[in-house]
Amino acid sequence: MTQLQIFLDIATEAALAAGVVLKDYLGKLEDAVTEKGRPGDLVTAADKASEEVILEVLRRHFPQHSILAEESGKLGNQDNQYLWAIDPLDGTTNYAHQYPAFAVSIGLLINGVPQVGVIYDPFHNELFQAAAGLGATRDRHTIKVSQTSELSKSLLVTGFAYDRRETSDNNYAEFCHLTHLTQGVRRSGSASLDLAHVACGRVDGYWERGLSPWDIVAGIILVQEAGGKVTAYDGSPLKIETGRILATNGYLHDSLSHELLQVPPLSAWK
């Protein structure tokens, strides 16, 4: 068994265990929901309990590895060759409202490059897995991106960052522009599921700003291994720390990138 396969298996064990925690807490949060500082930026007892389970599994198997986890922050030297990026509950707002779009996302960066990704949607019991050179799967069956090659025939998905009230750089204009050019733009509220859905062809492309590494590391390798393309908005190599991502089936990449670079101001829609 290759080392990457071992990493993938352990990440899967952690994601499935975390999924059990999320199913257990669903609908039972009562007052165990707080805001992290910004309006709408929630954290719940389920986020924390899920993260504890993931940390326990990864630390038991890989005590030398470092971790970047949404609720615990930086654990270990972040320059470590092996860095796990963990989102124990991606889609917390959905989860708190019992809206069924949330996931566990566990990705591994090796020397800064996404190499392993597991995204588990416990509500629908869907497991997405990928590792560099090993392909991408949903429930252990190979998945591929869609073949849609015209924006006018595409379905896209995006998201709005928590700082949207504080900055005019908030994706509203992009949303309007692309809603007019496509068959539709969805907003699921779970970045990792958005990427998983690009990977399996349910949507043709995804873009978003204001993301953190734990939102996207797993999804990046999943889309790439499913045959898609992941870059910065302008098509240049992705820098994860910028928080901006463009992920598509590849066929739409240039046209979507082109449109993102020439979005009319919001006032154009009034």
Q: Which residues bind Ca ion (CB under 5 A)?
A: 70, 87, 89-90, 92, 215
Q: Considering only residues 19, 114, 117, 159, which one is a binding residue for ligand IPD as defined by CB under 6 A? A: 159
C-alpha–C-alpha distance, residues 71 and 59, integer Å: 16
Residue closer to Ca ion, measured from CB, 120 or 251: 120
Q: Which of the choices ligand IPD, Ca ion, none does residue 158 contact, using the CB cut-off of 5 to 8 A by kind? A: none
Only one of the segments 22-30, 72-80, 126-134, 203-211 lies at the binding site for ligand IPD (rule: CB under 6 A); that segment is 203-211
Only one of the segments 87-95, 106-114, 115-123, 124-132 lies at the binding site for ligand IPD (rule: CB under 6 A); that segment is 87-95
Residue 27, phi-psi category: left (phi > 0), alpha (psi -120 to 50), beta (remainder): left
Taking the complex as a whole, the smallest distance from the CB of residue 199 to ligand IPD amounts, in Å, to: 16
C-alpha–C-alpha distance, residues 214 and 241, integer Å: 11
C-alpha–C-alpha distance, residues 160 and 38, integer Å: 14
Phi, psi for 174 (deg, rounded to 5): -60, -40
Residue closer to ligand IPD, measured from CB, 114 or 227: 114
DSSP collapsed to 3 states, 112-125: CEEEEEEEEECCCC
Taking the complex as a whole, the smallest distance from the CB of residue 91 to ligand IPD amounts, in Å, to: 5
| Pairing relationship of beta strands 126-131 and 135-138 according to DSSP bridges | antiparallel
Report in angstroms the alpha-carbon separations of 117 from 45, 123, 134: 24, 19, 11
Q: Which of the choices Ca ion, ligand IPD, none does residue 114 contact, using the CB cut-off of 5 to 8 A by kind? A: none
* Tokens coding 102: 């949330």
Q: Considering only residues 58, 106, 191, 198, which one is a binding residue for ligand IPD as defined by CB under 6 A? A: 191
Residue 211 binds to ligand IPD (criterion: CB under 6 A): yes
Q: Which residues are part of a known binding site for Mg(2+)? A: 70, 87, 89-90, 215
Residues at the site binding ligand IPD, with contacts judged by CB under 6 A:
87, 90-92, 159-161, 189-191, 208, 210-211, 215
